[in-house]
Amino acid sequence: MFKKYTVCLLLLISCASTDKLSTYHDFGEKKGIEKVVDDLFVYLLKDERTKESFQRLNLDKTKEGLSNFICVTLEGPCKYEGQSMKRAHKGQEITERQFYGMVENMQKAMNKNNIPQRAQNKLLGKLAAMHKDIIGN
pTM listed for this prediction: 0.81
- CA gap 55, 47 in Å, rounded: 11
In 3-state terms the chain splits into helix, strand, coil percentages (rounded to 5) of 70, 0, 25
Tell me if 44 is assigned to some domain: yes
CB contact at 8 A, 33 and 76: yes
User: Mean pLDDT, to the nearest integer, of 77-100?
Assistant: 88
**Hey, what amino acid is at 3?**
K
Tell me if 14 is assigned to some domain: no
Tell me if 91 is assigned to some domain: yes
Report the domain count for the chain.
1
pLDDT digits (tens, 9 = 90+) for 96-115: 999 999 999 999 999 999 99
pLDDT digits (tens, 9 = 90+) for 9-59: 333 443 444 455 689 999 999 999 999 999 999 999 999 999 998 888 899
Quote the domain boundaries for residue 47. 21-134
Tell me if 56 is assigned to some domain: yes
Tell me if 5 is assigned to some domain: no
User: Mean pLDDT, to the nearest integer, of 66-79?
Assistant: 94
Tell me if 10 is assigned to some domain: no
Which residues 6+ apart lie within 8 Å of 82 measured at CB? 65, 68, 69, 88
The CATH number linked to 67 is 1.10.490.10
- CA gap 65, 78 in Å, rounded: 11
- CA gap 73, 79 in Å, rounded: 10
